[in-house]
Structure 1
């Protein structure tokens, strides 16, 4: 029988408990607001400096274990993993905590806990565009299915089909369930195409792997690469330390994707705070995915890889590389030409080009195979002076020669994801990298076309499509590559300058 996901039970090793002291300052910025939907907060812990606590009238009495879960999730978003002997970091922004779990959940044979979903949707609908960031560490306790879009997923997706909000959703803790029956697969609504699906890794150290409990991919197609990535969620050997409900603030050990998710989201919030209005939440999501690395872990287990959690790591680049963000709304019937910043003059050796494209399309839950109504088709033109050779009597081509870049066969080897080329353009998130000689590039660009559909047919009234494209060009043999790009494109590129100062944390 379906139920709400089991909440993490914690790790009962009292020797790991330690006292903590709260910061005596408010959030770093008040220009951003986040919301957590969870089990509530205890009266014994005073977080009013950063948290506005909201209880819907119809939610029923609080459940102690749900309250502890809500406190742990809130602790992870505000402070990250707590460390013994180290001061808690200053929270990035004010947060609303909305209690959606209570004694009334699952009543009247509500097998999928739709009353919990209703509370979430009601609050979002009553507060449109109030939040730039959403943390959700709960949902139904069953795996996603390819031929069915759960109401949790479609309802969330419909409210995220714009570029002004980023929702992080826990992938689930079913990773140790039966793999042959796909019971270890990610759980709704973490298959939402417009959300960041977060799994957990087992340590903050260099040699990490997926935490055994963390649910695995794939997602549905479109939206195949899920979870989008992983970050530290705790393990038996290295717990995720969170606040306890005791009167005197203290840290207790726990583990779960429930805590990895707000931890990952806190890095996104910090990045947005650092960049200000220069980056949309959609661009922040694209940046996070762009920076992720698998370190040879299977993509089915860790998605695009380990998600960075410190804003400065997410935003900065080395002297031999340049990082460029293109963002906006692509109008109907138009295409985007994204010129890549290659400096004038010779370039020694090879260039590594990595590009990540993320969109926020409308969705159609009645057609799972054609779930995304919008999609982008991308063509890479590496050299503006090279054209396709033609035979005698043929017309000369109007456009430069193209090279495959974003494609199912390029990004997903063999039958690993069984994606058809025709369907790949409907994927909401694409990432690929390729190495090429610097001398082969001259005024390179991506040409991007907007496609739309409705139930696998052409849409009659399509909406403009929000997008974010992140490109990194890395030239290891050019130590002054970044400065060369800045000089060449000084009248075109706009540097993203930090709006606030963010202290560096060892675990971020």
Structure 2
């Protein structure tokens, strides 16, 4: 089919959403020990804890002490938190993280604040609480104690002696008391104290940025309110060759772009004629800037506006960009030799809410060092808060550490954000095969975004670099790196919204991932969901026999929604491929690193609304309630009972919470596909179940892109769907060719 015959994707899929009810079963939970054994274990742990707390110097603890309660590996889910145990002993649960058992299994550790003077009474009271919930809570516990320093100080290289460090401290009611204790412990001068930056989020941890020596870090590593400490070094980590004379001409200024992308970087010299008509720089951090960061910001902006200039012929006049750029100069900070990332984050938290007309922002600068599962940086937390509260989309370069040894090759913060897109880089083999660029940092991501990078874009290679414009109007450079892949994805996301008012932040993200090249059954740590489609017109349009339907909606937590898939009953196609991408946003909870996403959607695919399971003892038969009516009657006479819901082809439950996590249950993105003969499909649908972790979030926003492909079909599936499902309609779009003509 020619491009001229492509048709708009279909919108208003939310009109096909119906209600669905489902009973949540669950058998009796198996516990690792008896109640009597649990009492003895917990009593001995509390006795040891009392002695350990007494050994903490007074200047390293507050009136209340934070201790770690480790649970057995079978009790990883939030619902298994021993709340009755905590409540009865007056322990305050203030966060959690993963921990590995001696056998290497994944389990959960809860941080709780306790009054050490009450430990003896706690031991005596253990046998006094006679409720079943308290007894079962006691049986979940593996250990109670203080964390060792090596579990707190994370990510430092062997040769590290001094530098900027991010401290994450447990929440206490009076932040000033915690900080005063910390500052006294550090023995900082007044000038040194004034250079320290900190941020306390509502219902979140206290983040602190400071410059510190190895000796002083060792001293505070046993400061009881300290949760984690990790290095916080920022540098421009890209591959950049010597500049050469500019070989293209600036575009003719025919219009002012109606939509802009936010580029958060080192700024742009807007006197350059390639940038002046299309770039504004309203907000700048208070420092004087630096040539290094200015060059990086300009190169990134060049990619956002014009893309790769490698294939342009000499003296070619560039086409005016469809989108403009709002350059937000957030780097470097006051001291270019010691970049305080907190200055930049404070600046972004103030500026971005003011840019209400900009939906998409790109970040290609961040701290050096791979992410850590037990530690969430302030940068990541801040972006996820902004994304959720202001409905913004961030594209973030994952980093260029892909050639380092494991685990130093893992993606870098803040590309581990759950409400945005972490962008990796691919290169193209001589055969045309797309592979991960060897420098591109790899996944996995953290809980809530296991698939990282989300998608990849061409980032160049030594054999085939990207070409970009420099700050000086007379020069350009060859560049390589994820820094230059990320703004291209940002541009494509913004283009989708520019070309159609029916596409918002969530649906742009869903459409980009749905159209990406990979269809994965396992987590892909190299390319994520695959390479980004080159032309956004392809994302917004369908062919005769491959159509995409967009569903935009929200739902209450713990409820179910039935997304009916518009498969036409009058079609003669013999085989279909059905694929879907689900995207949500979530309020982040940095106190619970293993439960960072407060809400999520669980999906189950049902190919036939008239097929149910009939079960008797351990036997099960899948039957069509109309076509198999006679046989069903015989089964019912034998004692078979019909299931309350239709038969699915997706797993309804998994054996453990660890299995659920490996299936990305709590992730904000899900991408799946399934191929079926038409004879097995009858009014298929997907059921969404809105999950929450009991933190007061009542609604879940979502966007779903479902693609139906009729395989080897000579009819017109697109028209058949529109004819049968009148509630759907083509979205309003302007193709790039139309936009350029009108401009």
- TM-score higher than 0.5 here? yes
- Structure 1 or 2: larger helix share? 2
1:303 aligns to 2:528 (yes or no): yes
What is residue 21 of structure 1 aligned with on the other side? 250
Q: Give 1:208 shift.
A: 2.3
What is residue 184 of structure 1 aligned with on the other side? 409
Inter-CA distance 334–87: structure 2 relative to 1 (3 Å threshold): farther
What is residue 222 of structure 1 aligned with on the other side? 448
Rounded to whole Å, the distance in 1 between the matches of 2:546 and 2:425 is 29
What is residue 292 of structure 1 aligned with on the other side? 516
Q: Secondary structure at the match of 1:59?
A: coil
Aligned length: 481
1:283 aligns to 2:518 (yes or no): no
**1:38-437 alignment, distance < 5 Å:** 38-46=265-273, 47-56=275-284, 58-82=285-309, 83-85=311-313, 86-102=316-332, 104-105=334-335, 113-127=341-355, 129-161=356-388, 164-179=391-406, 182-203=407-428, 206-248=432-474, 250-275=475-500, 277-294=501-518, 299-345=524-570, 347-391=572-616, 392=636, 393=639, 396-404=642-650, 419-420=659-660, 424-437=664-677
What is residue 413 of structure 1 aligned with on the other side? none
Q: Indicate if the aligned counterparts of 2:270 and 2:279 stay in contact, CA closer than 8 A.
A: no
1:462 aligned to which of 697, 701, 706? 697
Moved more, 47-56 or 442-451: 47-56
Q: Indicate if the aligned counterparts of 1:322 and 1:485 stay in contact, CA closer than 8 A.
A: no
Q: Give 1:325 shift.
A: 1.0
Q: Give 1:500 shift.
A: 5.1
Rounded to whole Å, the distance in 2 between the matches of 1:99 and 1:251 is 21
Q: Indicate if the aligned counterparts of 2:588 and 2:597 stay in contact, CA closer than 8 A.
A: yes
Rounded to whole Å, the distance in 1 between the matches of 2:241 and 2:565 is 49
What is residue 8 of structure 1 aligned with on the other side? 238
Inter-CA distance 105–232: structure 2 relative to 1 (3 Å threshold): farther
The Cα offsets for residues 275-305 of structure 1, whole Å up to 9 and x where unpaired, read as: 1x21111101111111111499992111111
What is residue 727 of structure 2 aligned with on the other side? 492
Q: Indicate if the aligned counterparts of 2:537 and 2:736 stay in contact, CA closer than 8 A.
A: no
Q: Give 1:87 shift.
A: 3.9
Inter-CA distance 196–103: structure 2 relative to 1 (3 Å threshold): closer
Q: Indicate if the aligned counterparts of 2:567 and 2:684 stay in contact, CA closer than 8 A.
A: yes
Inter-CA distance 503–213: structure 2 relative to 1 (3 Å threshold): farther
2:682 aligned to which of 418, 425, 442? 442
Rounded to whole Å, the distance in 2 between the matches of 1:481 and 1:405 is 29
Q: Secondary structure at the match of 1:302?
A: coil
1:476 aligned to which of 708, 711, 716? 711
Rounded to whole Å, the distance in 2 between the matches of 1:54 and 1:163 is 19
Q: Indicate if the aligned counterparts of 1:73 and 1:259 stay in contact, CA closer than 8 A.
A: yes
Q: Give 1:198 shift.
A: 0.3
Q: Indicate if the aligned counterparts of 1:185 and 1:216 stay in contact, CA closer than 8 A.
A: yes
**Aligned structure 1 segments of 4 or more residues deviating by more than 6 angstroms:** 295-298, 405-409
Inter-CA distance 437–147: structure 2 relative to 1 (3 Å threshold): same
Q: Give 1:466 shift.
A: 1.2
Q: Secondary structure at the match of 2:362?
A: strand
Q: Indicate if the aligned counterparts of 1:76 and 1:262 stay in contact, CA closer than 8 A.
A: yes
Q: Give 1:396 shift.
A: 3.8
Rounded to whole Å, the distance in 1 between the matches of 2:543 and 2:651 is 24
Inter-CA distance 406–314: structure 2 relative to 1 (3 Å threshold): farther
Q: Give 1:92 shift.
A: 2.5
Q: Indicate if the aligned counterparts of 1:4 and 1:139 stay in contact, CA closer than 8 A.
A: yes
Q: Secondary structure at the match of 1:74?
A: helix
The Cα offsets for residues 298-344 of structure 1, whole Å up to 9 and x where unpaired, read as: 92111111011321122222222111111122234543211101111
Inter-CA distance 463–26: structure 2 relative to 1 (3 Å threshold): farther
Q: Indicate if the aligned counterparts of 1:163 and 1:466 stay in contact, CA closer than 8 A.
A: no
The Cα offsets for residues 256-279 of structure 1, whole Å up to 9 and x where unpaired, read as: 11110001111111111111x211
Rounded to whole Å, the distance in 1 between the matches of 2:591 and 2:336 is 25
Q: Secondary structure at the match of 1:273?
A: helix
Q: Secondary structure at the match of 2:357?
A: coil
Rounded to whole Å, the distance in 2 between the matches of 1:38 and 1:407 is 44
Q: Give 1:116 shift.
A: 1.9
Q: Which runs of 5+ in 2 are unaligned?
A: 1-162, 164-231, 617-635
User: Between Structure 1 and Structure 2, whose CA radius of gyration is higher?
Assistant: 2
Q: Indicate if the aligned counterparts of 2:283 and 2:351 stay in contact, CA closer than 8 A.
A: no
Q: Give 1:408 shift.
A: 8.7
Rounded to whole Å, the distance in 1 between the matches of 2:345 and 2:654 is 34
Q: Give 1:188 shift.
A: 0.3
Inter-CA distance 22–123: structure 2 relative to 1 (3 Å threshold): same
Rounded to whole Å, the distance in 2 between the matches of 1:379 and 1:203 is 36
Q: Indicate if the aligned counterparts of 1:331 and 1:464 stay in contact, CA closer than 8 A.
A: yes
Inter-CA distance 421–175: structure 2 relative to 1 (3 Å threshold): closer
Q: Secondary structure at the match of 2:666?
A: coil
